[in-house]
């Protein structure tokens, strides 16, 4: 139970004056056009040498702004947020539409606009909803076979995005999203997208990036996918030499009290003394000379008197549980991170749309208040001349949902350079997956024989009893362990189990296996279900459950999950293939798993490719003295030259 808050503290009422507005209305850009005049507008820009881009699910235009700084002209944008659309329409020429891309007719119309206008880069961040297992199975089959989804499936907007790519076939595609889109157990959406885009002839690269690596003053991880048509390789941009801190980003902005509003409403401003750092100077670029002494949107929420007392006592290291009990309004065991004063010498926590409703995660480093609209925009790398339509709550929401413009700029530059270089990409995922699956099928003896088990219990038994034993002991003991096809078989043969375990000093593992068997014997069907097996085995055995699911398919094809495993040595193989040793040391739950997914693909051979990857890690691509000459992927391995053994090494059968 959490710590009790005294009744008098919970009943104390504090009023805070409600301050509305100012409400900002933004006129359309002077070069804004409608659908009828769009083609002539795009044609004129192309004639003048412009490289055109489109931004779908564009929000307030953070990605658009970055792409324009990189040298593209964003001439087409779509979103369903009215205030965000108004903001984008004000800052960018061309066609900005308030369209629902879940509508099949809208998808076809916007794809035709992209194709007819000869847009070179399609960018966007489609939201991704969760799927039922049955829904995943149906959509996976359509994607794998290259069939467009029926219109009702386009409510999943990533499918609409894929359909637009298929219809328009732009030279380059850039997608941004939260890492959660990719890093579920199966990585279903990402694998499906990569499979479909490779089928269309794109070379695809994806990575989870920390935006601070590119000069954004916050810890903000995003999944980035880049696909270049005609098999052109994409090279990721290099990072900045130093991180930009919170105070480096906002330290020049004038101090204000909570709830402060300037005179003049939406046109009001705070007095500004000037920038002090390179980042601040960049944020001031583009301001009219007549406005050099002012800053707009330096407005924030009012602060309750009791909150102000709490803020005064806080440092960047203070947790909510450190706050005196009589000053708390929430349970400390549930809301231990409810309040967060930003560290002026570090990075901000991720600016999200949540800031529109609750600013307690973003308390100013020095002032006893939450961040202003302009400070949040600075941390997202929006320049000071960039304004946001609607009331402050809408501005906060638009800022939190945006792609940091500085990230968009670096990615846009990298896309442009990669297209100019036109270097051919390595083999597509489908080819690598096929090579690995064929190698696995051809092997007569496995170093991990339970990868070909008939039942999931055999997989569980083999992995617990025999993992990391010598090849000699595995080949000797596996035929015995394989006789126990179900938990009841193991319970009935407990004496044999302990005798076998004693040969290799694995009594504790035998006890562990017997305990699991005793539990599962009460519900033997649990291990046949892709969902129940995890609860049946417990969180400490999650990796073994995933291996059992992968090695022995569910009796129902609808339930087939095919999780992406990051253990069993597969990260080592991925690291060596990519020439990136860091993948093996870290990123088990992000870029490491992405690399594994790229090797196994999402085609019909993905499961056997994944099993082959595990076998490869154990039999060939070993930690010491790998047998590179026996590896089916040696021709695409970036580390082969430094790892290759002498051809006289004994072949692994």
Which of 377, 335, 344 lies closest to 363 in space, CA to CA?
Answer: 344
Pairing of strands 172-177, 221-229: antiparallel
At 78 the three-state DSSP class reads strand
Angle at 215 between CA 419 and CA 184, to 5 degrees: 75
DSSP state of 427: -
In sequence order, the 6+-apart residues with CB closer than 8 A to the CB of 56 are 77, 78, 79, 101, 110, 122, 123, 124, 126, 161, 164
- Whether residue 649 has pLDDT greater than 60: no
C-beta atoms surrounding 528 within 10 Å? 17
Could you report the per-residue pLDDT of 410-468, keeping only the tens digit for each? 999 999 999 999 999 988 888 999 999 999 999 999 999 999 999 999 999 999 999 99
Question: Dihedrals φ, ψ of 323, to 5°?
Answer: -75, 140
pLDDT band at 157 (very low <50, low <70, confident <90, very high): confident
Alpha helices in 504-556 (DSSP H): 507-520, 532-537, 542-551
Q: How far is CA 645 from the centre of its chain?
A: 37
Which of 189, 507, 491, 244 lies closest to 381 in space, CA to CA?
Answer: 244
Mean pLDDT check: name the lowest of 188-192, 210-214, 544-548.
188-192
Could you report the per-residue pLDDT of 258-268, keeping only the tens digit for each? 999 999 999 99
* Spatial separation of the C-alpha atoms in residues 372 and 301, rounded to whole Å: 8
Which of 120, 122, 72 lies closest to 413 in space, CA to CA?
Answer: 72
In sequence order, the 6+-apart residues with CB closer than 8 A to the CB of 453 are 459, 462, 482, 551, 552
Pairing of strands 172-177, 121-124: parallel
Q: Which superfamily does CATH assign the domain made up of 245-391 to?
A: DNA Methylase, subunit A, domain 2 (3.90.120.10)
* Spatial separation of the C-alpha atoms in residues 230 and 191, rounded to whole Å: 20
What is the average pLDDT across 197-212? Answer: 94
Catalytic residue check, 128: yes
Burial 419-443 (b: 16+ CB within 10 A, else e): beeeeebbebbbebbbbbbebbeeb
- Whether residue 256 has pLDDT greater than 70: yes
* Spatial separation of the C-alpha atoms in residues 453 and 423, rounded to whole Å: 43
Could you report the per-residue pLDDT of 12-27, keeping only the tens digit for each? 444 455 567 789 999 9
The burial class, CB within 10 Å (0-12 / 13-18 / 19+), for 285 is: exposed
What is the average pLDDT across 618-641? Answer: 91
What is the chain's alpha carbon radius of gyration, rounded to the nearest angstrom? 28
pLDDT band at 330 (very low <50, low <70, confident <90, very high): confident
pTM exceeding 0.85: yes
DSSP state of 516: H
Query: CB of 168 within 8 A of CB of 115?
Result: yes
Q: Of residues 33, 128, 621, 631, which has the active-site annotation?
A: 128
Which of 205, 195, 104, 101 lies closest to 141 in space, CA to CA?
Answer: 195
List the domain boundaries for the chain.
38-243+408-421, 245-391, 429-643
Return the CATH class of domain 38-243+408-421: alpha beta
pLDDT of residue 591: 83
């Amino acid at each position: 139970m959490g710590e009790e808050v005294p009744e008098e503290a919970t009943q104390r009422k504090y009023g805070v004056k409600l301050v509305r507005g100012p409400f900002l209305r933004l006129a359309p850009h002077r070069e804004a056009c409608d659908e009828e005049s769009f083609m002539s507008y795009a044609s004129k820009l192309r004639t003048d040498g412009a490289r055109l881009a489109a931004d779908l699910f564009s929000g307030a235009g953070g990605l658009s702004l970055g792409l324009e700084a990189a040298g593209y002209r964003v001439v087409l944008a779509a979103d369903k947020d009215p205030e965000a659309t108004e903001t984008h329409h004000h800052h960018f020429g061309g066609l900005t539409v308030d369209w629902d891309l879940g509508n099949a007719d809208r998808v076809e119309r916007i794809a035709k606009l992209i194709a007819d206008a000869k847009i070179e880069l399609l960018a966007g961040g489609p939201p991704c909803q969760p799927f039922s297992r049955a829904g995943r199975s149906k959509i996976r089959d359509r994607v794998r076979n290259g069939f467009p989804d029926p219109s009702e499936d386009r409510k999943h907007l990533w499918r609409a995005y894929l359909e637009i790519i298929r219809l328009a076939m732009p030279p380059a595609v850039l997608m941004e999203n939260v890492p959660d889109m990719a890093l579920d157990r199966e990585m279903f959406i990402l694998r499906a997208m990569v499979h479909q885009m490779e089928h269309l002839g794109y070379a695809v690269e994806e990575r989870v990036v920390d935006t601070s690596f590119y000069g954004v003053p916050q810890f903000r991880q995003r999944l980035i996918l880049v696909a270049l048509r005609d098999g052109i390789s994409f090279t990721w941009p290099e990072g900045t030499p130093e991180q930009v801190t919170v105070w480096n980003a906002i330290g020049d902005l004038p101090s204000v009290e909570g709830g402060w509003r300037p005179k003049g409403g939406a046109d009001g401003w705070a007095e500004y003394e000037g920038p002090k750092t390179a980042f601040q100077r960049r944020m001031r670029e583009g301001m009219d000379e007549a406005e050099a002494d002012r800053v707009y949107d330096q407005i924030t929420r009012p602060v309750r008197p009791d909150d102000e007392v709490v803020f005064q006592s806080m440092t960047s290291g203070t947790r909510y549980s450190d706050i005196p009990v009589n000053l708390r309004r929430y349970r400390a065991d549930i809301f231990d991170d409810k309040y967060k004063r930003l560290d002026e010498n570090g990075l901000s926590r991720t600016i999200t749309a949540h800031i529109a409703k609750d600013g307690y995660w973003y308390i100013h480093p020095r002032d006893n208040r939450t961040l202003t609209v302009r400070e949040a925009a600075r941390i997202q790398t929006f320049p000071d001349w960039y304004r946001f339509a609607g009331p402050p709550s809408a501005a906060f929401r638009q800022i939190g949902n945006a792609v940091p413009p500085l990230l968009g700029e670096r990615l846009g530059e990298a896309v442009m350079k990669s297209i100019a270089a036109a270097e051919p990409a390595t083999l597509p995922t489908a080819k690598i997956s096929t090579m690995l699956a064929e190698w696995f099928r051809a092997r007569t003896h496995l170093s991990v024989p339970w990868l070909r088990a008939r039942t999931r219990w055999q997989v569980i038994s083999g992995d617990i009893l025999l993992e990391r034993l010598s090849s000699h002991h595995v080949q000797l003991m596996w035929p015995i362990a394989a006789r126990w096809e179900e938990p009841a078989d193991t319970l009935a043969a407990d004496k044999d189990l302990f005798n076998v375990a004693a040969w290799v000093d694995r009594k504790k593992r035998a006890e562990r296996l017997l305990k699991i068997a005793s539990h599962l014997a009460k519900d033997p069907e649990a291990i046949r279900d892709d969902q129940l097996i995890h609860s049946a085995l417990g969180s400490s055995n999650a990796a073994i459950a995933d291996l059992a699911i992968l090695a022995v398919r569910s009796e129902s094809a609808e339930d087939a999950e095919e999780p992406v495993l990051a253990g069993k040595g597969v990260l080592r193989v991925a690291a060596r293939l990519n020439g990136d040793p860091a993948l093996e040391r870290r990123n088990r739950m992000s870029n490491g798993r992405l690399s594994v997914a790229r090797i196994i693909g999402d085609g019909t051979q993905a499961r056997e490719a994944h099993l082959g990857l595990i076998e490869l890690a154990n039999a060939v691509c070993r930690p010491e003295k790998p047998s590179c000459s026996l590896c089916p992927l040696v021709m695409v391995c970036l580390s082969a030259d430094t790892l290759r053994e002498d051809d006289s090494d004994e072949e692994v059968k």
